A = this chain, B = another copy of it.
């Protein structure tokens, strides 16, 4: 089934204890669409880039069967750019440079053929922009999922709450869940957030795994314990893309199937952090994903 992903396509530059990445491609739509492409075959991206966005990156995405008709290339302008530096533990980072460029006035427009999508994923954008995308769909998607961040809770909480009423699944991290709910306990936070609208909630805990909430049910997926995290940039978007790709592939939004989707998303994310930027993700193979998913199975397997 079809999946529309709306989000940023950008340049990143990453300083980590392992060196400097140079200028690499990034952005939520880039990471999540590549990740989704390993599971689903009908993926459409809505984004905006400048004239500087490399044609070979566009070609790489097209080769993965990602439909780029919704990517607006702004003549004479520059793509969003982010430069960050990770601390030694790779768990925290400082932003050195943010140049919004074309993302500053991004007003996503769904091409006609995108409007009846089965599934919709809204990457981290202003809540008003996210809402405007939902309004453009001509039939209600089976599942509308979105990401957001602390920034929007600080400056646009009312708009965010409005948008939350219109979605089915929110995917955020633990810190964001605590800020949005005002609760430290994630169980309490999850209840309050689901009262704001989304029936499903995923709370990502980075190296500590992810929690999926629905009604009275909780599923916990661990993160794979890794020898080395090389570059965590994009891991959250890769998780979300893998999750949505698996859901779009199966067309099944039961809790049981979402649990599998969380595992597939986690497996994809565990590859993402192995190299700078999208490098490791781009070269992934199906058998590698299957093998990694088996590691998740083994990691938590016990009989009582």
Measured between alpha carbons, how far is A219 from B225 in the docked complex, in Å? Answer: 10
* A23 in contact (CB, < 8 A): no
Q: Which A residues fall within an 8 A CB radius of B?
A: 88-90, 184-188, 205, 208-209, 211, 218-222, 225-229, 256, 259-260, 262-263, 293, 297, 299-304
Copies of this chain, count: 2
Q: Which residues of B contact A186 (CB under 8 A)?
A: 225
CB within 8 A of A184: which of B88, B218, B293?
B88
16 CB-based A-B contacts, threshold 8 Å: A89-B184, A90-B184, A185-B227, A185-B229, A186-B225, A205-B208, A218-B225, A219-B299, A219-B300, A220-B225, A221-B300, A256-B302, A259-B301, A259-B302, A263-B304, A297-B304
Shortest Cβ distance from residue A128 to the other chain B in the assembled complex, whole angstroms: 32
**Do B187 and A225 touch (CB < 8 A)?**
yes
CB within 8 A of A222: which of B222, B229, B256, B263?
B222
Shortest Cβ distance from residue A271 to the other chain B in the assembled complex, whole angstroms: 16
Measured between alpha carbons, how far is A3 from B221 in the docked complex, in Å? Answer: 34
Q: Which residues of B contact A260 (CB under 8 A)?
A: 302-304
Q: Which residues of B contact A185 (CB under 8 A)?
A: 226-229
Q: Which residue of B lies closest to A259 (CB)?
A: B302
Shortest Cβ distance from residue A203 to the other chain B in the assembled complex, whole angstroms: 9
Q: Which residues of B contact A256 (CB under 8 A)?
A: 302-303
Q: Which residues of B contact A293 (CB under 8 A)?
A: 304
Shortest Cβ distance from residue A264 to the other chain B in the assembled complex, whole angstroms: 8
Q: Which residue of B lies closest to A227 (CB)?
A: B187
Q: Which residues of B contact A227 (CB under 8 A)?
A: 185, 187-188
Measured between alpha carbons, how far is A293 from B302 in the docked complex, in Å? Answer: 11
